[in-house]
A = this chain, B = another copy of it.
Amino acid sequence: MRQAVSPGPFVDVPEPPDLPDPLPEPDVADLRLDRVMAALSDPLRLEIVRRLLLERQEFDHPCGWFGFDRPKSSLTHHFRALREAGLIRQRQYGLERRSHVRVDDIEVRFPGLLALVASWTPPDD
């Protein structure tokens, strides 16, 4: 069923059971294109989603895995923006809060969008 829903290049990695509950996030039916676009209008957030897509075979990545040179409170802000727009799902593992892209959900509602993000390259200026 999962593959039938998302025939594109992005397929969710199957997850082991008994995971911690996801943090609050919008339901698939409540995803809004304008909100998603706004979340993806920031270069740092584009980079977060891009790298989550490229290295998605690894398990969910904690906030510090990206190596951004920003204060932790700034990162919290941007990850929350992505989660509240519905682009990523976050779960708490002990101290870490790990994230992954909601590939199936986004692909169903906005097919092809993640491919654009995956092929994005950060501006070099």
Q: Which A residues form the contact surface with B (CB < 8 A)? A: 32-35, 37-38, 40-43, 46, 110-113, 115-117, 120, 123
Contacts and interface: CB of A to CB of B under 8 A. Distances in A.
- Interface-central residue, A41, A113, A117, A120, by most chain B CB under 10 Å: A41
Contacts of A120: 33
8 contacts: A35-B41, A37-B41, A37-B46, A41-B41, A111-B116, A112-B115, A112-B116, A113-B116
Contact of A110 (B35, B46, B116): B116
Contacts of A41: 34-35, 37-38, 41
The 7 tightest CB contacts between A and B, nearest first, are A112-B112, A38-B41, A37-B41, A37-B40, A37-B37, A33-B120, A34-B43
Contacts of A33: 40, 46, 116-117, 120
A110 B35 CA distance: 19
- Interface-central residue, A34, A110, A113, A117, by most chain B CB under 10 Å: A34
A122 to B, nearest CB: 9
A33 B116 CA distance: 8
A23 to B, nearest CB: 23
